[in-house]
Amino acid sequence: MRLLRYPGMIVSILLLAVTALAVIAPALLAPYDPYESVGTMRLAPPSWEHLFGTDHLARDVFSRVIYGARLSLSAAGLAVVAGVTLGAVIGLVTGYLRGVVDAVVMRFVDVVIAIPGILLALIVVASLGFGPVAVGLGVGLGTSGAFARVMRAQVIRVRAEEYIEAARTLGGRGPTILVRHVLPNAARPIIAMAALELALAILAVSALSFLGFGAQPPAPEWGALVSAGRDFVATAPWLSILPGLVILAVVLAVNRIARYVGGER
Amino acid sequence: MTSPAQRVDAMGPRRGSVGTVARFLLPKIGQALFVVWASYTVAFLLIHALPGDPILAALAVRGGDATTTDPAVLDELRARYGLDGPLWQQYLGGFFGIFRGDLGVSIATGLPVSETILRVAGPTTALAGFALIVGFLIALAFTVWAYLARPAWVRNVIVQIPPLGIAVPAFLTGLVLITVFSFGLGWFPASGASGFASVVLPGITLALPTAAIFFQVFSAAVFDAGASPFVFTANAKGLSQSAVVFRHVLRNAMLPAITIIGLQVGYLAGGTAVVETVFSRDGIGRLTVDSVLARDINVLMGVVIVVATVYAVVTLVVDALYGVIDPRTRTALAGAKPISAAKEVRT
């Protein structure tokens, strides 16, 4: 196993395996019910019984973090899927058509890239209403510009290849060639980039959820957990800092693996 | 002995340089205007293409007796907030309003948006300026440290640290700083926007990602410069290491840092939303968050326009100053003539 030479990779893979389990079957990992009080112990500090302590309603915070993985990561996943899809479509069309369409659309893409991602996401949330889906779509829109640029560059590269010319000579129609021949050959760098963007999307989604635009209470979305703990930061700082550290760890792990996928050792 | 002929001579080159500067600047000014227009257009399209009635949404948030479905009242409200009439009219009216400094009226408070933004611009500028300076210094320190570090593995470890600044959620940094320095040591206030002490913690929180971005550019430029002939020469002349680092390596690394200040403005504008919320500070970021919470699209549009304008102006100024800072780019500024002249000399 060559992977074993990179200790960072081993830790990252283990952490993501646990996270994946928390997404698929949170009940296996969580010691308590995330929505029910576990007794009368309010704002209890971390202990072996309650790893992350208990919140102001005496709920087990560790269990809430475990159950929150699904909400937070699916919103981040939605963001990446939305960003890749929108970006790929724009990149495919502009890169294939070139000319005026390309020039006009890409100038707008430049502007979408220049507008801070969180501001774009806030506009989407303000129009669509609050919730993880709106947050995911908003964050995805912010990343779509970068995807569009990379996709367009790939399409322009692939278009010049001989097999595209061959497909056209054989009578293939534009859309067919795009989907059947250009897309598969242009997709590789997009996949590596999508992995990197997932880490950033987790950060952006948790920031928006921290601001109160994600899943509404009592849903245990990660950013919302940090935000809820913030009210008690003077007396029980672990309530917000421990879930925050979980977000950080997952972001670093995803980032490490994404860089490995992208060819960095 | 100033003869008219001499005066014409003296005017000649100056008029020529005004021409070149105009030729250089006009497209850049056009670009800046385009950024503002396109940001406005993108935001407008997003708000009006997505489902939902802005007025109804804002009223629903306000709740209580403000909720109404009476069409006459709704029409009156739409007219008051500039959300009546056909979309193209709203679009054009909003756009031309920008040039009069008129950004509409806040749905939540009824106050002019430009006034609302202007009132909180001060604290945000102080915060962003502090973060920019501290981020710059942190990145600089890490760059010099990494450049001088031996052996190679120590350098490799140091180089890994600054990128973490992007991966750490700003709310986590902020809450840790509050826990340690406000509630633990009592050195700085945990909230508010009065006095220099209140800038320090949020400024540092915002500075970490800023430093990460600066470091990326610095380190690439410094290691490039480190491998360049002029540094080889400087070392060969027997200059002390600090002289080589500060006079030759860093000076060449500063330049690319200036070009990304525009990028940093965008980043800071986004980052203030979280940081100002964590530290309960008045500012543009918190205003943005509050406007979204109140579904107040007029204030949100205003913030987008202001951020786009600041970004465009900073980019314009940086572009214009680039020739002044780096003499090597001046030939490009003067246009095609000197380059062809240089070619002639060479042949």
Angle at B344 between CA B341 and CA B345, to 5 degrees: 90
Distance, CA of A25 to chain centre: 20
Residues of B with Cβ-Cβ distance to A120 under 8 angstroms: 46
The answer to whether the Cβ–Cβ distance between A248 and B267 falls below 8 Å is no
Residue position matching structure tokens 């389990």: A21
Decide if B175 and A107 are in contact by the 8 Å CB cutoff. Answer: no
Contact B46 A123 (CB under 8 A): yes
- pLDDT tens string B104-138: 888 878 788 888 898 888 889 889 999 999 998 99
pLDDT class for B336, splitting at 50, 70, 90? Answer: very low
Neighbours of B187 (CB within 10 A): 11
At position B23, the amino acid (one-letter code) is R
Distance CA B46, CA B66 (A): 26
Number of helices and strands (H, E) in chain B? 17, 0
Q: How many CB atoms lie within 10 A of CB A57?
A: 13
Least reliable range by pLDDT among B3-7, B67-71, B147-151, B260-264: B3-7
CA distance B340 to B347: 11
**Phi and psi torsions of A54, nearest 5°:** -125, 155
CA proximity to B253, closest of B178, B197, B326: B326
Q: Check residue A79 and give its pLDDT.
A: 94
Q: Which chain A positions have a beta carbon within 8 Å of B47's beta carbon?
A: 123, 126-127
Tokens of A242: 């421990």
The pLDDT value given to residue B9 = 44
Q: What is the pLDDT of residues A29-84, one digit of tens each?
A: 878 778 877 777 777 788 887 788 787 777 888 888 888 888 999 999 999 999 99
Of B179, B270, B289, the CB nearest to A241: B179
Average pLDDT, chain B: 78
The span from the CA of A142 to the CA of B208, in Å, is 22
CA atoms in the 13 A half-sphere facing the CB of B88 = 0
Question: Using the beta-carbon criterion (under 8 Å), do A115 and B42 form an inter-chain contact?
Answer: yes
The whole-number pLDDT of residue B332 equals: 52
Summarize the confidence of residues B249-270 as an average pLDDT.
Answer: 78
**What's the pLDDT at B140?**
86
Q: Do A226 and B172 touch (CB under 8 A)?
A: yes
Residues above pLDDT 70, as percent of chain B: 85
User: What pLDDT, on the 0 to 100 scale, is given for residue B328?
Assistant: 66
What ipTM score was computed for the predicted complex, to two decimals?
A: 0.83
Mutating which of B172, B268, B296 best tests the A interface, going by the most A Cβ atoms within 10 A?
B172
The alpha-carbon gap from A172 to the nearest alpha carbon of chain B, in Å, equals 35
Contact list in B for residue A212 (CB cut-off 8 A) is 289, 293
Q: How far apart are alpha carbons B114 and B178 in whole angstroms?
A: 32
Distance CA B124, CA B283 (A): 5
* Residue B315, pLDDT score: 85
pLDDT band at B17 (very low <50, low <70, confident <90, very high): low
DSSP A131-176: SHHHHHHHHHHHHHHHHHHHHHHHHHHHHTSHHHHHHHHTT--HHH
Cα–Cα distance list, B52 to A1, A215, B16, B60, B292 (Å): 54, 19, 56, 12, 14
> Using omega within 30 degrees of 0 as the cis cutoff, is the peptide bond preceding A218 cis?
yes
Quote the pLDDT of residue B339. Answer: 38
How does DSSP classify residue A54? B
Q: A15 vs A174, which has greater pLDDT? A: A15
A123:B269 CB<8 A: no
Q: Tell me which range, B60-69, B110-119, B262-271, is most confidently predicted by mean pLDDT.
A: B110-119
d(CA B51, CA B17): 53
pLDDT tens digits, residue range A113-154?
888 888 889 999 888 888 899 999 999 998 999 999 998 988
Q: Is A230 within 8 Å of B52 when comparing Cβ atoms?
A: no
Q: What percent helix, strand, coil does chain A show, rounded to 5?
A: 75, 0, 25
Please give, rounded to a whole number of angstroms, the shortest distance from the CA of B270 to a CA of chain A: 6
CA dihedral A222, A227, A230, A232 (to 10 degrees): -80
Does the CA dihedral A147-A149-A150-A153 come out positive or negative? positive
All domains of chain B in start order, with CATH: 4-99 (no CATH), 113-293 (1.10.3720.10)
> Is B200 in CB contact (< 8 Å) with chain A?
no
Give the integer Cα–Cα distance in Å for B82 and B95.
12
Query: Cβ(A149)–Cβ(A113) under 8 Å?
Result: yes
Q: Which residue has the higher pLDDT, A48 or B204?
A: B204
- For the stretch B167-193, pLDDT in tens is 888 888 888 888 888 777 878 777 776
Please compute Rg for chain B using Cα positions: 26
